Each structure stands twice: as structure tokens, then as C-alpha cells.
Amino acid sequence: MIETKLHQDVLEIIISNAPVNALGAGVRSALSQAIETAQADDQVKVILLRGAGKLFSAGADITEFDQPPTGCTLPAVIDAIEASPKPVVAAIHGTALGGGLELALGCHYRLATPTAKLGLPEVSLGILPGAGGTQRLPRLVGLDAALNMIVSGSPVDATSALAMGLVDRLVDEEDFPTAAIAYARILDAPGRTRDKQVADDAGVLERFAAANARRIRSLDAPKACMTAVKASVELPIDEGLALERKLFAELVGGAQAKALRHAFFAERAAGKIADLPADTPRRPIAKVGVIGAGTMGGGISMNFLLAGMDVTIVEMTQDALDRGVALMRANYEASAKKGRLTREQVEHAMSLLTPTLAFDALADCDLVIEAVYENMEVKKEIFARLDAIAKPGAILASNTSYLSIDEIASATKRPADVLGLHFFSPANIMKLVEVVRGAATADDVLTTGMQVARSIGKVPVVARVCYGFIGNRMLIPRQDNAYAMLLEGATPEQIDRVHTDFGMPMGPLQMIDLAGVDIGWHRDTDRIESLQDALCAAGRWGQKTKAGFYNYDENRKPSPSPVVAEIIDGFRNRAGLKRRDISDDEIVARTLYTMVNEGAKILDENIAQRASDIDVVWLHGYGWPRHKGGPMFWADQIGLTTVSEGLARYADRIGDGFSMAPLLARQSADGGAPDK
Ligand code: CAA
């Protein structure tokens, strides 16, 4: 776990704990031992600390946070390094994150290669840097920069680190670690971070707290980070370190930190296909085709173009093609205006796009993604045409959000090459892609689908075929119950508030307004059989018509609509329903517990590989609050009995065909977790 190499008077101590040099108990104890031994060795004048493999260190071993602490602590190792009479130099390549960077902060000098990244991402795990980061970083880089790094959790690159005083010097990448060793050799007396003073920058803390108040309002960790950083100004370092340690201990066992750790590991697990070895081959993808230049087709294409891939986009009419291409450019330009893209990136991306009306232009694509509207006959016709022209080995994907990939694949003579790549709207922004594995999908087609999604910065999750796959299938009972409760007496504001208070970015009705109330509507204004029909017939199609469940102003700010209240009243009266008060508890049970129930069915039917995959779908496709881990994790935390009892309480109102998921019934009886 620790290797040492003596280069005359410089002792190299190498952290060697693949894959990310996490600082688990074994590493800490070996490191502490190596530092102690080096003190006693007269030959050693300087100690150089670095990581083996691709990086310095990813910090504490996160898996240990759920176990009782063992062995020497990281703060103790760092104290020993800082107290060393012999200079200790951190030589950073790749990344130094969390406890890894804190280790470097305890060293007397820091060197970094130009491509290195340095950060304290603990806040994203619901904790704060617990090994001195909140006290030492401000002493090196000042309050403002330290607050930004610690509270955002975002890493900085080596050049910025040099400019802010976080590293002392950049060393040649090609000549690493030799150049670092040569530099270490000329160092003498150790300079200790703890001896520096933090400049009390008047008002910085207050300004920072005010500017970030909204973003962090329901989160414990960023607030604790700010408290600890404040202590770096106000308290002697040992008292500051003690406070940091206390806050760390409080947070690490808390509900938010557990949920965020779950999300971290769930995301990594989702990338693994349970029944396929990691080295399953993949097909090379260089050229992508997209059928349909509507919002989805355009959004999907934008991802590939930005990743530097050639995209051919096909439409039926010149008008639709021009509109689609213009929208893509406008979206890129809006990002450039916000500083998220450079002008060169926009132009380069657009230069890789080939818009065409010629379907045959897809013949040399390695991957073709169909993104036309949801109609099985249309999709089958497209896949039959594709089958006739696509080159052998090309992957044929559908972006369908509900329909059977198996039926779509049956329109081709190569069902093994077909899969679903279900992007979420807006497709250029949302991270989730459900990679839908048909009954005949070949292994290398599935692994390629996962890899392609990753290569454009998405989070792929495998789903099997069913109506709506994972995410949208769970949305159905939520949506049905939201509509039903409006007729029974709830208001759109009440239903949505329960969800936004929970931490969702928007409630079910706000989401329908965003997506379009008219999705799935039959388009006959005289046929009014449902609330949706009535809203659509009245031109209330959602945000796009500035009227849906809410009225919208020019900034898309919603306000309650008396017209909607009237439409709902009219419906209720015609249905002979008596308005009653609906409690928040009922809304939670009928919209959130029903989702968990559907999730449990999805798991039982093997549509999802694991419960945590369902959580990843909701984190990245629908904005489930990360500090609540995802619906299945959340259900486990509040107790499956709570969920099943809540469902039972409202079972007769939940809607036709409601049935408790057998898995939920079984496991709540056992008191177990929703995972199998
Ligand atoms: N502890 C334990 N396991 C870790 C880990 C950590 N700190 N960081 C990564 N891993 C594991 C992953 O779970 C994954 O395991 P599997 O292969 O079994 O799925 C494996 O290492 C590789 O990780 P990635 O797939 O994420 O690899 P990558 O190359 O894409 O990314 C990375 C590398 C940027 C370092 C990324 O892993 C990462 O961001 N890690 C977490 C960094 C972090 O949050 N550090 C702070 C820890 S808390 C702390 O240090 C507290 C303190 O104050 C002492």
C-alpha cells in the first residue's frame, strides 16, 4: 500500500492503493510508519510524497464511513507530516481530492503537474473536509478562494492552484516524478501551513453566505463548511481543527451524508451490466445519424457534436430541417452567452453537422438514433427502411420513451443490433440515458450503447422493455393520482408544493406544464372526456402557450389560474364528486409512495438491474433531490412499513388496478431493504 524508494538523500513515499489511492486504514498506518522511519534515517534529508498510477489520491476511503473508525486517523498522519523536521513535499499528478489534498496541505511544499486537478469535494458527500482542509486551505489561499473551493466542492486546475498559492511550483509532466525529486533536493527548512495567518477579509463570509443562501438552504454540509472556515479566522488552529472534527463526526452519520454516499456508489454501480464481464467488446462509433430534427432529435445531436463527432440529421421537409438546425444553433449560442461555451466550440460543433432530407445519407453511420414522435407504426416503418440501408454492424437505436423496443426491432432483420437510447428532455442538458435492452439486443450493442452515452457526458442506466421503462413508468401513477386529486379537491399549488417542499425542482403539474399538457392528447377540441382534454381544448397547453395548470408571465413565472379552478370545479360537479380537503399525507402517499410501489414492481420484474439504478434514473432524469438518495433509498430510510401502510391507507382512492408490489409487501413484512 505504501512503497518507498531512496534517491540518495530524497526518500520517495508512494501511495499505492489501486484504483484511486484511497486513504483507508491500511494506507494510513503504513504511511504513518514510513514517515516515522524516515525521521530516524540519517541518509534521508527530504521526503517526497506522491501517488502511484494515474493520480495522487482520491481522499478518504468512503466505504469506511459506514464502519466504526479503526487505526490511526488521517488528521494524526497529517499532523505528523506537518511536524516533521525534515521537509515533506507533495508531488501531485492526476487528481488530489478530499483527504488527498488535505494530506498535501499538511506537507511543507506542493508541486503539481500542469494537468493536475485539486479539490475538496467532501460537500458533495454531505460532509466537510475532516482532516484539516477547512483550517489549512484558507491559510494558504485566503478566505474567498477557500470558501469557493470548499463550499462548491469543485476542483481547480493546476494553473489556478499555482496562481492562488495552493501549489508552489508546476513540474514537467513527462519528467514526473524525476523533476519533482530534483526540486525536492534543493529544499531546506519546512514551511508550515499551520503557522500562517488567515487575513480577516472584512465581510467575505457574510457576503458569501448571503449569495449562496438559496442554493444551500436545505443542506447541512455547506453550512458546516462555512462555520468551520469562519473558525480558521477566529480561532487558533488547534481549536479550529477540533471544531472541524466535531462537525465532521456530526455530519458523517447523518441522513444527508448517507444519501449522498448512496448516490455516489449508485452512479458507479449503474455503469455495470450485471451479467456481462467488464471486458465485453464494443463496436467503434465515429459517425452518428439522427432521424428527426425536432426538440429531441436536435438536443440529442447537440451532445454528439459537442463531443466532436460527425452527425447526419435527417428530416422529412426542408422547413422542419431548417427550424431544427436553427434551434440547435440558438441553444448553443445561448450557452455561449452564459460563458458555458466559447464561440469556437459553437462553430466547431455546427461544422460537424450534416443536415439532409436524404434518408440514404444514414448508410455509412455507425449509430443511428431515431427520434420521431411516439407512434409504433411510424417507428416500425422507419426501422424497416433503416434495415434496408444501414451498413452491416451499425447500431440502430430508438429514443422512444414508452414503446416496445422488441416490437420496433421486429421490423428489421437484425434485432440484435437494435436497442433503446432514451434521452430526457432537454436532451442537451439532462444527464440520464435509459439504455433499453431488448430481448434480442447483442451484448456488444448494449456495452457500446453504455459507452457512447458516457462519452457524451451522460449517465447511462440499463432498463429492460416495458411500457415507459423505469422513469416514465413510475411517473404514470404519480401523474394519474395528481389528476385525480385535483378533481377530489386539491389545488395544483398544493400538490406541487408538497413536491417542491420535498426538494423536487418542480411538482407533477408544473412538470406537465413544462413538457406540454397536450402530449398524448387526441387533438379533438369537441371531445372532452378528461381534465387534460378540457385544458387542451381551452388552449392551455402548458408553458409553450403561457397557460397550463398555471398562468405564465414572459419570464415563465407561474401564478394560480382562476380559469383552471373553474374547469376543475366544472368537472367535479359533472362527475358528481363532492369537494373534500386533501391532506399533504395523502398527496405524499398517492404520488410518492405509488412511485416507490411501481419501482418495486420494476425491480421484481427485472426491468431494472438493481434498486439503486432506479435511484440514479430519478436523480439524473427528474431532479430527485440528491440528499434524499433516490426514491428506493428514501423508501428504505423512512421504512418500507411506512410506505406500505401509507399505500394501504389510501388504496381505495389510488385508482383502478392499484395493487401493492409483491416485493414491497414481502420486504416490509421482513423489515428489509428494497434491493433484492
Ligand atoms: N473511496 C472509496 N472508493 C472510491 C473513492 C474513495 N474516495 N473514490 C473512488 N472510489 C472507487 C469507486 O467507487 C470505483 O469503484 P468501482 O470500480 O468498484 O465502481 C473506483 O474507485 C473508481 O472510481 P471512478 O469510477 O469514480 O473512477 P474515475 O477515474 O472515473 O474517477 C475520481 C476518479 C475522480 C477520483 C472519482 O472516483 C472521485 O471523484 N472519487 C471521490 C473523490 C472524493 O469525493 N473524495 C473525498 C472523499 S471524503 C474525504 O476525503 C474526507 C476527508 O476529509 C478525510
Is residue 490 within 8 Å of 585, Cβ to Cβ?
no
Nearest residue to 176 via CA among 254, 91, 57, 245: 91
Task: Please give the pLDDT value at position 199.
Answer: 79
Please report which residue ranges of 84-171 form alpha helices under DSSP H. 99-106, 133-141, 143-152, 158-164
Domain 2-253 has CATH 3.40.1050.10: no
The overall average pLDDT reported for the chain is: 94
Distance CA 221, CA 634 (A): 19
Between CA 151 and CA 15 the distance in angstroms is 27
Q: Are 259 and 629 in contact (CB under 8 A)?
A: yes
Amino acid at 578: K
Q: What is the pLDDT of residues 305-339, one digit of tens each?
A: 999 999 999 999 999 999 999 999 999 999 999 99
**Separation between Cα atoms, residue 417 and residue 412, nearest integer Å:** 9
Over residues 554-567, the pLDDT tens digits come to 999 999 999 999 99
pLDDT of residue 671: 61
Each residue's pLDDT tens digit, 452-467: 999 999 999 999 999 9
**Under 8 Å CB-to-CB from 197, ≥6 apart: which residues?**
139
Q: Nearest C-alpha to atom 29 of ligand 1 is from which residue?
A: 20
User: pLDDT digits over 165-181, tens only?
Assistant: 999 999 999 999 999 99
Q: Which atom of ligand 1 is nearest to the CA of 102?
A: 53
**Three-point CA angle 287, 115, 83, nearest 5°:** 150
Distance from the alpha carbon of residue 121 to the mean position of ligand 1, in angstroms: 10
Residue 668 pLDDT grade (very low, low, confident, very high; cuts 50, 70, 90): low
pLDDT at 672: 56
The CA 434 to ligand 1 mean position distance, Å, reads 24
Set of cell numbers at residue 601: 414492481
The pLDDT score that the predictor gives to residue 658 is 87
Residue 235 CA to ligand 1 center (angstroms) comes to 32
Q: Could you check whether 2-253 and 287-467 share the same CATH topology? A: no
Which of 20, 61, 115 best tests ligand 1's pocket when mutated (most atoms within 8 Å of CB)?
20
* Residue 669: per-residue pLDDT: 67
Closest C-alpha to ligand 1, atom 32: 58
Q: Which atom of ligand 1 is nearest to the CA of 128?
A: 53
Cα of 62 vs centre of ligand 1, distance in Å, is 7
Domain at 490-574: CATH code:
1.10.1040.50
Evaluate if residue 216 carries a pLDDT over 90. no
The verdict on whether omega for the bond into residue 426 sits within 30 degrees of 0, i.e. cis, is yes
**CATH code for residues 584-670:** 1.10.1040.50
Q: From CA 102, how far away is CA 117, in angstroms rounded?
A: 14
- H or E segment at 533? helix 531-537
Give yes or no for residue 3 having a pLDDT over 80. yes
Categorize the per-residue pLDDT at 673 as very low, low, confident or very high, splitting at 50, 70 and 90: low
Q: Whose CA is nearest to atom 19 of ligand 1?
A: 268
- Res. 264: pLDDT tops 50: yes
Q: Please check whether residue 646 is in contact with residue 489, taking contact to mean a CB–CB distance below 8 angstroms.
A: no
20 CA to middle of ligand 1, Å? 6
Pocket (CB within 6 angstroms of ligand 1)? 19-20, 22, 58-63, 74, 95, 97-99, 102, 121-122, 125, 129-131, 265, 268
Predicted pLDDT at 676: 42
Q: What angle do CA 361, 364, 370 make, to 5 degrees?
A: 65
CB 623 within 8 A of CB 505: yes
pLDDT band at 214 (very low <50, low <70, confident <90, very high): confident
How many degrees, rounded to 5, is the angle at CA 42 between CA 37 and CA 48?
60
Place of cell 439524473: 620
- pLDDT tens for 49-88 read 999 999 999 999 999 998 888 889 999 999 999 999 999 9
What is the CATH class of 287-467?
alpha beta
pTM (2 decimals)?
A: 0.93
Answer whether 642's CB lies under 8 Å from 674's CB: no
Positions of E strands within 285-333: 287-291, 310-314
Alpha-carbon gap, residue 551 to 451, rounded angstroms: 42
Whether the Cβ atoms of residue 640 and residue 671 lie closer than 8 Å to each other: yes
Residue 119, judged by CB atoms within 10 A of its CB (0-12, 13-18, 19+), counts as: buried
Nearest residue to 609 via CA among 273, 259, 277: 273
Cell 429492460 maps to which residue?
464
Give mean pLDDT, residues 340-361.
96
Instruction: Using the predicted structure, report yes or no on whether residue 254 has a pLDDT greater than 50.
Output: yes
| 107-164 pLDDT, tens digit each | 999 999 999 999 999 999 999 999 999 999 999 999 999 999 999 999 999 999 999 9
- Write down the domain spans for the chain: 2-253, 287-467, 490-574, 584-670
Is the distance from CB of 251 to CB of 226 less than 8 angstroms? no
Ligand 1 atom 1 nearest Cα: 61
C-alpha cell recorded at residue 147:
470558501
pLDDT at 201 over 80: no
599, amino acid identity: G
